[in-house]
Amino acid sequence: MKTSADNQNFEHAFAYVGTYGDETHPGGIYTFSVKEGVENIKAISHVAQPAQAGYLVFDKQTHTLYSVDERKNDGRGPVSPPASVFALSVDQASGELTPINSCLAPTPFPTFLNLDSEGRRLVSANHGGFDHIEKAVFKDGRWTSDYLYDDSSVIVYNLGDDGSVEQISDLVVLEGHGKDPNGSLQAGGHAQSGPHAHSCVLSPDRKHLLVCDKGTDRIYVYQFGDKLKLINFYQFPEESAPRHLEFFGDDRVYLTLELSSQVASMNFNPASGELVLIDQVSTLPDNYLYPNEPAEIRVHPKGKFVYLNNRGEDTLVCFKVSSDGMLSRKGYTKLAKSIHPGLAARSFTFTSDGKYIFLADRPDNLLKVYAVDEETGGVSLINSVEVPQPVYVELVSF
């Protein structure tokens, strides 16, 4: 653990915590100072918009924080704000957030952001909702029903030199569906009735964009630029539902599979965009028999361990990675108990040196900080701070 002297030079300045709003809490983004180290976290301020701040990303070049507003429009003449992406300026001294602008997301529930700072682009994965519309249609000489589902998309936004979100340069609507109905608790078994992009991750060389579509059990690989060009995809078995993905180095990928409750390791070919499966194992112990959906995945900066959070078992789990990419469950830490996987702890992140994990434990209404044992992979809780409905943490340094 760091000493008091070390804490004066902590590597990160601020922690921004995105929250979900509801009838009891306005949502928005909370700012905390971490300049004095993980044991001396201080609340600074709160902005109420965007209210559904489910994902954040910071641009160090322009000192801009980007956030989704994860919602769906009401329809013609909406009474609530539309789904959008927000840009907020970060004051380097105080950490205070000042709105710059927002840009409409033409498809509902933007849920993930990725930043191409050098190319001045922001990419959004828009999940779409689970609900449907039933339409009367006359087909093959008789009246019957047809069903319409939300579009799910990947959107590329251009960014201004001042950090503002400018026009959309490309929007790709995903197609297809998975097994419907299936065994998921989500949407009454209709979680794969259409595509659902849940993450969009740039390769380290910024030449490819990998999109996890949990609705079709696919990872799509696009050539990245102002326009997206599909060059490859990987098909998982039915009811796998790839959710979140993270690179380690140029050619290794790790991801969570939400519906099959698995974690996978893959090799990625930067030349062709091809993905090859290395290992795919359960995120759960053999004796666990209840519903579970893994969510976030993070690779320790040294690459020896991969961490994910199980929603249902309600744990932060460590997997050891062998030299050839094979995965083995090493240990776990209990998190707050959730009444449903969709209401469990949602995300976490490492400090850049890998010594600490900041975790948004939604059922506990706490931002939790864990110290990481870099030899064993074990974690220990060292601090917690109250935050209503926390769902995402972004650590910022300048």
The confidence score (pLDDT) of residue 131 equals 87
Q: How far is CA 395 from the centre of its chain?
A: 14
Q: Residue 247 and residue 270: Cα distance in Å, rounded?
A: 12
189 pLDDT above the threshold of 90:
no
Q: Please compute Rg for the chain using Cα positions.
A: 20
Q: Residue 49 and residue 177: Cα distance in Å, rounded?
A: 33
Q: Residue 393 and residue 108: Cα distance in Å, rounded?
A: 22
Enumerate domains of the chain plus CATH numbers.
13-397 (2.130.10.10)
Q: Closest Cα partner for 352 from 303, 295, 300, 309?
A: 300
- Strand pairing class (327-334; 347-350): unpaired
Contact 184, 257 (CB under 8 A): no
The confidence score (pLDDT) of residue 8 equals 44
The confidence score (pLDDT) of residue 190 equals 87
**Residue 214 belongs to what H/E stretch?**
none
Least confident window among 1-10, 144-153, 248-257, 268-277: 1-10
Beta partners for residue 58, in sequence order: 65
pTM of the model: 0.95
Please count the other Cβ atoms lying within 10 Å of the Cβ belonging to residue 380.
Answer: 11
Q: Cβ-count burial of 20 within 10 angstroms (0-12 exposed, 13-18 middle, 19+ buried)? A: buried
Least confident window among 28-32, 79-83, 297-301: 79-83
Which residue has 């971490």 as its token pair? 34
Q: Closest Cα partner for 25 from 270, 387, 396?
A: 387
Q: Residue 155 and residue 83: Cα distance in Å, rounded?
A: 13
The confidence score (pLDDT) of residue 3 equals 39
- Six token digits for residue 68: 């989704």
Which residue has 């990160």 as its token pair? 12
Which residue has 């990947």 as its token pair? 154
Q: Residue 250 and residue 272: Cα distance in Å, rounded?
A: 13
DSSP state letter for 190: T
181 pLDDT above the threshold of 90:
no
| pLDDT, mean of residues 185-195 | 88
| Residues of the chain by 3-state class (helix, strand, coil), percent to 5 | 5, 50, 45
74 pLDDT above the threshold of 80:
no
Give residue 142's pLDDT band: very low, low, confident or very high (50, 70, 90): very high
4 pLDDT above the threshold of 50:
no
The confidence score (pLDDT) of residue 274 equals 98
Sorted by sequence, the CB contacts under 8 Å of residue 320 that are 6+ apart come out as: 304, 305, 327, 328, 330, 377
The confidence score (pLDDT) of residue 61 equals 96
More confident residue, 178 or 10: 178
Give residue 80's pLDDT band: very low, low, confident or very high (50, 70, 90): confident
Least confident window among 20-24, 181-185, 219-223: 181-185
